[in-house]
Amino acid sequence: MAIKYEKLIPRFLEYAKQNTRSDENSTTIPSTERQTEFLKKLAEELMEIGMNDVKIRKVDSYLTAELPSNIDYDVPVLGLLSHVDTADFNSENIKPKIVENYDGKSVIKLDEAGKYTLDPAVFASLKNYAGQTLITTSGDTLLGSDDKSGVSEIMTAMEYLINHPEIKHGKVKIGFGPDEEIGTGADHFDVKDFGADFAYTVDGGPVGQLEFETFSAAGLKVHITGKDVHPSGAKGIMVNSMLIASEFQSMLPADEVPEMTEGDQGFYLLCDEQGTIDHTDMSYIIRDFKRDGLEARKNKITEIVKALNEKHGEGTVKIDMKDQYYNMYDIMKDHMDVVRIAEEAMKNLNIEPDEAPVRGGTDGSTISFMGLPTPNLFAGGENMHGRFEYVSEEAMEKAVDVVLEIIRLNSQKK
């Protein structure tokens, strides 16, 4: 019989209602004060449930804690990580809605007017959740399952072990960090101080996801300077930066966008554009599974900038482009024993591992390159980063089950 974790969903609902959105334009760590406040609340909760060595580290603003071993022999130290920030979508006044015993075929009305719906004809994944309890948005915000689900699941697993001392386990280190969604959260992560031998991020999607291959990623800011004069005398003088922005976008491959790619295909994604005749700013993310593929995409951007400046004048288009993270498989291929433990845990629970490359990234990508092998486990969420996000209670329970089974397997005497 499956374990029912009584505090799991109330904990998630409480976390989800708290705005912890990060801000890519900030220069502070964390990027928003609201993340710091949430981390402080989590620290208090960790102490209340009985975790040891609870602290928020100045170097990276990670909240870390330790569950001491209760066995008399040595096993590797296991780490579990999740992030507290949510994506660049409305995160104010989040009002999660609960749909009990969903039938797998009905259209779910998110807002009162029915402007936004979860329709199985559009979101086929809904058909997988017949008979389950769903938690959705109210249509005007995201939900924050990415990664409040992971935070809730790790917290619940730790509390369960503390309340059941008869369950044997080695030392477990946990970490809740900021700013994953803007790609900077793990930049200063202190692997040595964390003290784990291997780790998992609990930050994936549907049940069974086990990810050890990610995109390599870069972020791009485009700054275009125009010349604004009165239209009555604009001929030969006016330079409309918004039109040059359109020109920039048109010079990228039209079919290499997220909505037209899948599997191991990379893309360019225009995330934001703000402009006037005088000045336009554009924000992109660039993704490719291969490192040389990422470099080729960056070179394409450089070529476009050169061509536009030759046409419109030197300095018209300027860019800030930087790498964010790399495909963790470059590291994980030499640490597949960490993957095997997670595979065994899932199979012991009759969950089939889904090991498709993830079309995204996690803090585990950065942390793996720092020397701590860190693949990614599912946390249960679907349609993440927007108003159509949802998660099922049963999926979250299975995530806790997997975490506990990994801990159990790791505690076995070798």
Dist CA 48 CA 43 (whole Å): 9
Q: Whose structure tokens read 């917290």?
A: 155
Helix (H) or strand (E) holding 305: helix 291-312
312 annotated to bind ligand? no
Supply the pLDDT for residue 193.
95
Q: Is residue 399 part of a domain?
A: yes
Rounded to a whole number of angstroms, the distance between the first and last alpha carbons of the chain is 29
Residues 115 and 154 in one domain: yes
Residue 307 sits in a domain whose CATH number is 3.30.70.360
Among 325, 348, 377, the domain-final residue is 325
| Helix or strand (DSSP H, E) at 287 | strand 279-288
- Annotated active-site residue 85? The verdict is yes
* Closest residue by Cα to residue 279 from 334, 336, 317, 241: 241
Give a yes or no: residue 3 inside a domain.
no
Q: Exposure string (b/e) for 196-231, b if CB count within 10 Å is 16 or more?
A: bbbbbbbbbbbbbbbbbbbbbbbbbbbebbbeeeee
Do 178 and 222 lie in one domain? The reply is no
Catalytic residue among 85, 88, 382, 401: 85
One domain, residues 245 and 142: no
Residue type at 99 in one-letter notation: V
The predicted structure's pLDDT at residue 413: 79
- Please check if 203 is assigned to a binding site: yes
Quick one: pLDDT at residue 1? 43
Could you tell me if residue 81 is inside a domain?
Answer: yes
Distance (Å, whole) CA 111 – CA 116: 6
Q: Is 385 annotated as a binding residue?
A: yes
Residues 127 and 226 in one domain: no
How many whole angstroms separate alpha carbon 97 and alpha carbon 75? 42
**Looking at the structure, do residues 164 and 29 belong to the same domain, yes or no?**
yes
- Domain-located, residue 349: yes
pLDDT tens-digit profile, the chain (414 residues):
467 899 999 999 999 999 999 998 899 999 999 999 999 999 999 999 999 999 999 889 999 999 999 999 999 999 999 999 999 999 999 999 999 999 999 999 999 999 999 999 999 999 999 999 999 999 999 999 999 999 999 999 999 999 999 999 999 999 999 999 988 999 999 999 999 999 999 999 999 999 999 999 999 999 999 999 999 999 999 999 999 999 999 999 999 999 999 989 999 999 999 999 999 999 999 999 999 999 999 999 999 999 999 999 999 999 999 998 899 999 999 999 999 999 999 999 999 999 988 888 789 999 999 999 999 999 999 999 999 999 999 999 999 999 999 999 999 977
Chosen domain end from 269, 302, 325: 325
| Cβ neighbours, 10 Å, residue 16 | 27
Looking at the structure of the chain, the number of domains it has is 2
For residue 24, give every residue at least 6 positions away whose Cβ sits within 8 Å of its Cβ, in sequence order, or none: 31, 88, 182, 183, 283
Residues 334 and 223 in one domain: no
Which of 291, 325, 359 is the last residue before a domain boundary?
325
| Statement to judge: residues 116 and 191 lie in one domain | yes
Q: Are residues 345 and 302 in the same domain?
A: no
Q: What is the spatial distance between Cα 79 and Cα 371, in angstroms, rounded to a whole number? A: 13
Rounded Cα distance between 144 and 356, Å, is 23
Does the annotation mark 180 as catalytic? yes
Q: What are the tokens at 66?
A: 């330790």
60, 66, 153, 180: the catalytic one is: 180
* 1 within a domain of the structure (yes/no): no
CATH number of the structural domain spanning residue 113: 3.40.630.10
Q: Sheet of 52-56: strands edge to edge?
A: 52-56, 63-67, 172-177, 78-83, 198-204, 376-378, 210-211
Q: Are residues 79 and 181 in the same domain?
A: yes
Peptide bond into 147 cis (omega under 30): yes
Backbone φ and ψ for 193, nearest 5 degrees, come out as: -65, -35
Sheet strands (E) in 106-255: 108-109, 117-118, 134-136, 172-177, 198-204, 210-211, 216-225
CA distances from 251 to 187, 247, 255, 318, 323 (A): 32, 6, 11, 16, 21
According to the model, what pLDDT value does residue 259 have? 95
User: What local confidence, expressed as pLDDT, does residue 2 receive?
Assistant: 66
**pTM for the complete prediction?**
0.88
Q: What is the pLDDT of residue 299?
A: 98
Kindly state whether residue 148 falls inside one of the protein's structural domains. Answer: yes
Give yes or no: residues 77 and 12 share one domain.
yes
**Domain shared by 293 and 365, yes or no:** no
Asked if residue 230 belongs to a known ligand binding site, the reply is no
Question: Domain for residue 404, yes or no?
Answer: yes
Known binding residue 188? Answer is: no
Do 221 and 370 sit in the same domain of this protein? no
Domain encompassing residue 348: 8-214+327-410
Distance between CA atoms of residues 89 and 384, nearest Å = 10
Distance CA 266, CA 297 (A): 9
With respect to residue 2, please indicate whether it lies within any of the assigned structural domains.
no
